[in-house]
Amino acid sequence: MNAIAEKSQLPALRSFDVSSVRSDFPILSRSVHDKPLVYLDSAASAQKPQPVIQAIKHQYEHEYANVHRGAYWLSETLTDKYEAARKAVRDFINARSDREIIFTKGATEAINLVAHSFGKNLGPNGEIVITELEHHSNIVPWQMLRTQTGVKLKVVPVTPEGDVTLEAIKAAVTTNTKLVAVAHVSNALGTILPIKEIAEVAHTAGARILIDGCQGIVHETVDVQDLDCDFYAFSGHKLYGPNGIGVLFGKESLLHDMPPYQGGGEMISSVSFDHTEWADLPAKFEAGTPPIVPAVGLGAAIKYISSFDRTGVARHEHDLMVYAMECLEAINSVRLVGTSKNKAAVIAFVVDGAHPHDVATILDRSGVCVRAGHHCAQPLMDSMGYPATLRASIGMYNTREEINALVGALEKAREILC
């Protein structure tokens, strides 16, 4: 079949329509405290569309078994679906091979896998470069590695607007740098980092780069070959899929040379009391019973997302973010935190004279769900001079009416607290 014929058989993309999208998410039709639910915490965990819910339900009701091990129909059927989910991830991020896709229980485990396996050989003379805006999951594993191996940890500062400049990255990376580990998109501020350029800086110095893609995979189109990243980690539950599933992309040559992260079943080709041989990729890094049904759910989420014109989704999220920031700036005593010009749909703010937790509690009484706290980014909060912020994060299902509900609830909170 020629390329034109193959292309003609691809399903037509759905044009983005937020009303249609909302009908796919059952939870959005419910009320909280007798008010319509306004869910603005997708950066913490996104809601699930019906196709994902149905895929998970179907597996447990009709086709559940363990994978890779059963010589019977149920096991073979679910094994095929599990591996089809791996292929869906491969295509979604444009990896070269299924062997470069490792299923984990979340992005945190994916980063820890790299720290414990790749990190073992960095040595006391090596350096790891991170930034001030990293999530704790991209800080603490490297601190633990520092304690174990003596590797040095260097931190790149952020600007007052919440940006990480390429110049600051270049100043931190040296010939001793072995790994640059940075977020694609800040979970606390929404800042989009210049990942492709950072990868070039790292590789020029002979270093590798790991990208925490938990927010980037949601709001950006990710092509790991174009980015030329060595590792890319993300979670399923932020991508409209289930929790309990994460992905580590790693270049095959690196994964091949790295020792296993955990030992047990599935990750071996042979075992004796004298010697054990590891399995080929990706099984070498998937010890024990894997997150089978969550992986199928992630595959369903990727299929759902991929059914849309993602340009339309991105435009909707960006327009809604701009509208929300304009509305928030117009409220007396509300201050935005993180005002990068290169920003995804994550908005941090504070209300002068009121603690974020108190504000969030009052918003909840109006049915409005926002995050309050340090957002697993305490060093960033300390750097910017805030013990905590409020965070409204936008998903593909949010609307202007919901932003208006947030603004109205904030006005009520100000009357009570300020």
Give residue-wise pLDDT tens across range 254-268.
999 999 999 999 999
- Residue ranges, CATH 3.40.640.10, the chain: 55-306
Q: What is the pLDDT of residue 417?
A: 85
For domain 55-306, the question of CATH label 3.40.640.10 is answered with: yes
Residue 75 CB-half CA count within 13 A: 8
Q: What is the pLDDT of residue 7?
A: 40
DSSP letter at 215 equals T
pLDDT of 3 above 90: no
Tens of pLDDT, residues 95-105: 999 999 999 99
Tens of pLDDT, residues 189-208: 999 999 999 999 999 999 99
CATH of domain 3-32+309-417: 3.90.1150.10
**Both structure tokens of 5:** 């014929």
Q: What is the pLDDT of residue 4?
A: 42
CA distances from 47 to 18, 53, 118, 148 (A): 14, 10, 34, 38
Confidence of residue 109 (pLDDT cuts 50, 70, 90): very high
Q: What is the pLDDT of residue 232?
A: 98
Arithmetic mean of pLDDT, 3-9: 42
Q: What is the CA radius of gyration of the chain?
A: 22
Which pairs from 383-388 meet CB under 8 Å and 24+ separation? 383/132, 383/157, 383/158, 384/158, 384/160, 384/162, 384/337, 386/337, 386/350, 388/355, 388/356, 388/357
Which residues does the annotation mark as catalytic?
376
Tell me the torsion sign for CA atoms 173, 177, 179, 181. negative
- Residue ranges, CATH 3.90.1150.10, the chain: 3-32+309-417
Tens of pLDDT, residues 134-149: 999 999 999 999 999 9
pLDDT of 1 above 80: no
